[in-house]
Structure 1
Amino acid sequence: MATNTPSEGKFTIAIEKQTSKIPSGVYLTAALASMAASLTLKCFGQRHTALFVGQWAAPFLIMGLYNKIVKTEGHD
């Protein structure tokens, strides 16, 4: 019995091929760097900028998780 599962688009496959080349540590380093930059900005009194930069950590970690999944599971 054949299942009709949707396949990934060409654009998605191209993105996954490129992102899988990036080491996972890059995303963790970027997240930690954004937290450190946020702390530094906060210490210099740049409250709003510190909050803005500090919010980058979560997207970097999510991208790292996506990267790890693509490397282990691949596409389709």
Structure 2
Amino acid sequence: MNPEHKEGPVAATIEHYTAKLPSDLFLWAALGSMAISATLKIMKKDEEALFVGQWPAPFLLLGLYNKLVKLEGHDKTDRGPRGGR
């Protein structure tokens, strides 16, 4: 970790809000979009099924980002070892 590196104000703000979201929210969103996609496919709505079927990967990537923010985000370096300012 580079102690001289500081996040910009936009990244810090995004991390502040995304760290409040539970990590499993993104997993459930991915699973839900897979179920919706499968349902649409069964209903012969192929284009809609393909559209919704592309959502799980971004949800899972957002979940990874969320987890990284919680473990290694700017809060860890800004707040110190005890989490207080």
Alpha carbons of structure 1 residues 4 and 17: separation in structure 2 relative to 1, 3 Å = closer
User: What TM-score do you get using the length of structure 2 for normalisation?
Assistant: 0.81
Per-residue CA deviation, residues 40-64 of structure 1 (Å, 9 max, x unaligned), is 0000000011010010000000000
Q: Cα distance, 1:24 vs. partner?
A: 0.4
Report the counterpart of residue 15 of structure 2 in structure 1.
16
Is 2:35 the partner of 1:36? yes
Structure 2 unmatched ranges of 5 or more: 78-85
% identity of equivalent residues: 54
Instruction: Give the letter for the 1:29 counterpart.
Output: W
How far apart in 2 are the matches of 1:28 and 1:64?
A: 7
Instruction: Report the aligned-residue RMSD.
Output: 1.5
Greater relative CO, 1 or 2 (CA 8 Å, sep 6+): 1
Q: Cα distance, 1:11 vs. partner?
A: 1.1
How far apart in 2 are the matches of 1:56 and 1:30?
A: 9
Alpha carbons of structure 1 residues 4 and 27: separation in structure 2 relative to 1, 3 Å = closer
Matches within 5 A, 1:51-66: 51-66=50-65
User: What TM-score do you get using the length of structure 1 for normalisation?
Assistant: 0.90
Instruction: Give the letter for the 1:69 counterpart.
Output: L
How far apart in 1 are the matches of 2:37 and 2:73?
A: 34
How far apart in 2 are the matches of 1:54 and 1:16?
A: 27
Q: Cα distance, 1:6 vs. partner?
A: 3.9
